[in-house]
A and B are shown apart, each in its own frame.
Chain A
Amino acid sequence: VKFGVLRFPGSCDEVDALNACSRYGDAELLWHHDRHLHDVDAIVVPGGFSYGDYLRPGAIARFSPVMESVAEFARDGGPVLGICNGFQVLCEAHMLPGALIRNRSLQFQGERVWVRVEHDETAFTHAYDRDQLLHLHGREAARVGNLSGVLAIRLEVLEIRLRRHVEDHDVAALFGLAGNLGLDSPRQRFFERAEIALLIRDVGQLLLGADVIPEHIFWRRDTGALGQVVDQRRQELGLGRRLLHKCREVRIVGDHRRGRGFARLCSCNG
């Protein structure tokens, strides 16, 4: 398998993604200005701060030449995974439904959460068992009723975290389900979607947005040379001190092995 990892100005997780993909096949970076996808078999839209998150995260990146090719690639059935900012890019590009909004706290948040597999028939989740609870003491956040063909993997969090989560952290927004909730305003609808961390358009499609960042699992294993390279690159990109601080905060992360469901949720806008 050959992976293509997009790189936008302001991306900062593309090296992590490249490293993760290279464990399972060939991987190369695809520059945002290049329409040619170099015959890749799968595409990762990585996290970071594409175009400095100007206007909104992903708002500018969606107009990058490479995104036209990515959309065509997805339409032809090619697998596309958007992580963190990549998730936002896919939403802005209307490849995934909805939009991501700011956390209620208006601050960056990074915390461990638990996820539950709602659908095991997708290409991204077939290695898991459906309804596999990844933590027995978890509790669901507000349940969304009929998902209308849109699949989601819900977060399971510890009870104490659940309260904080619902109050402070809107993980992802999913548009088009308002009728199922009976809520009045669009903003209320979004707030009820706090439990959705990963979003896939349809069972048969291979387009996934994730607000968890599994590629960082490799970071810790690669302390040393790679970490230095990434740090150097971030500095070369001219990211501000505050941004660098954010980037370092999101390193990490837990255990992604099958059946051990840690995921690290890091989000500024989702």
Chain B
Amino acid sequence: MVELDVEDASRVDEMCERLLANPLVEDYEVSIIE
């Protein structure tokens, strides 16, 4: 699990696709905690 404190949550998917996960071999799920 990776916990991030971000101002713009809309960028989280992009962050996952580019770096945090490798979508070729990994699934990821984003939970937003206000």
Contacts and interface: CB of A to CB of B under 8 A. Distances in A.
Interface in B18-34: 19-20, 22, 24-25
A173 interface: yes
A59 interface: yes
- The listed residue with most B CB atoms (<10 A of its CB), out of A56, A98, A173, is A56
B19 A186 contact: no
Interface string A36-75: 0000000000000000000110010001000000000000
Interface residues of B, number: 5
A99 B25 contact: yes
A164 B3 CA distance: 37
A101 interface: yes
A16 interface: no
A92 interface: yes
A190 B19 CA distance: 21
B24 A56 contact: no
11 contacts: A59-B19, A59-B22, A63-B19, A92-B22, A98-B24, A99-B22, A101-B25, A173-B24, A175-B24, A187-B25, A190-B25
Interface of A: 55-56, 59, 63, 92, 98-99, 101, 173, 175, 186-187, 190
Given A101-B25, A186-B24, A186-B25, 16 more contacts: A55-B19, A55-B20, A56-B22, A59-B19, A59-B22, A63-B19, A92-B22, A98-B24, A99-B22, A99-B24, A99-B25, A173-B24, A173-B25, A175-B24, A187-B25, A190-B25
